[in-house]
Structure formats: structure tokens, C-alpha cells
């Protein structure tokens, strides 16, 4: 399958908590244009891809998106790991914290949980590739 090195490609080392920033960045983890949606889109579309080279490419891109998911998760965790109760309340992070504490949960910045409706896999090469292009245009 794959060879996994137990280190981030780009190490994340955040020293200061910033729950407001974490509330925004969490959308890149589990929001509609986030890394979880991207990885699932590519990894789902690969099954119906009739061209072996493109199937391999979709697999590669999907696993790369998983690496991005890992980095975003590390960023959010490091931004929230040492919060005091006062910081949690003052920042508005309390609504997330009450359900997940410092666990990383796939949600959008709005608080909406991840849904499979964020991804598309039609089984038609042209449709799926157009979906991928549109999704990459929306990614930030």
C-alpha cells in the first residue's frame, strides 16, 4: 500500500494558543472546501476511473490531501491545546469545546459538521474531473 513516515512533511510548531484562529482554520479540516472533502472526493472517484494512469493520479492526490488533513489537524490542536477556561469562554470556543474539548472534529467554521454532501463522485470521467477543478478553485 503506502509507506508512512511518522512525521509531518511540513512540521507544525505553534507556541501560542489562538482559539479564534483555530475556529477559522477548522473549516479547512472539515468544511465544505476542506481537506477531508478533497481526500474523499479523489479517493472515491478513482474506483470508476477507466484509465489506470489517471486512477493512480487520483489515488496520489487523495493521499496527498490526507497529508494536508494531518497538518491542519496539528495546527488546530496546537492553537487550542493549552487554553484556560477563561480563554475558552472569552474566545467563543466554548460551543466547540463543550462537545469535543481539544479533540479535532471535522466541522466548518460555522459549526456545521462534515457531511458527505460536500463531495461528488459521479463515475463519469469528464464530470468528475470538472468537479475536481471546481473544488480546487474554491479551496483556500
55-96 tens-digit pLDDT? 999 999 999 999 999 999 999 999 999 999 999 999 988 999
| Distance from C-alpha of 51 to C-alpha of 37, rounded to nearest angstrom | 23
- Percent of the chain past pLDDT 90, that is, above it, reads 82
Q: What's the confidence (pLDDT) of residue 1?
A: 63
Task: List own/partner pairs for 13-19 with CB under 8 A and 24 or more apart.
Answer: 13/78, 14/75, 14/78, 14/79, 17/79, 17/80, 17/81, 17/82, 17/83, 17/87, 18/79, 19/79, 19/80, 19/83, 19/87, 19/88, 19/91, 19/92, 19/93
Amino acid at each position: 500500500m503506502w509507506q508512512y513516515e511518522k512525521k509531518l512533511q511540513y512540521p507544525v510548531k505553534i507556541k501560542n494558543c489562538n482559539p479564534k484562529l483555530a475556529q477559522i482554520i477548522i473549516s479547512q479540516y472539515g468544511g465544505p472546501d476542506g481537506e477531508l472533502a478533497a481526500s474523499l472526493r479523489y479517493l472515491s472517484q478513482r474506483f470508476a476511473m477507466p484509465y489506470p494512469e489517471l486512477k493512480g493520479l487520483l489515488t496520489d492526490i487523495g493521499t496527498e490531501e490526507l497529508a494536508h488533513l494531518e497538518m491542519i489537524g496539528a495546527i488546530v490542536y496546537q492553537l487550542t491545546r493549552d487554553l484556560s477556561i477563561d480563554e475558552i469562554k472569552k474566545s467563543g470556543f466554548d460551543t466547540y469545546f463543550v462537545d469535543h474539548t481539544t479533540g479535532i472534529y471535522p466541522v466548518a467554521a460555522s459549526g456545521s459538521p462534515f457531511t458527505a454532501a460536500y463531495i461528488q463522485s459521479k463515475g463519469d470521467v469528464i464530470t468528475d474531473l470538472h468537479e475536481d477543478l471546481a473544488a480546487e478553485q474554491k479551496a483556500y
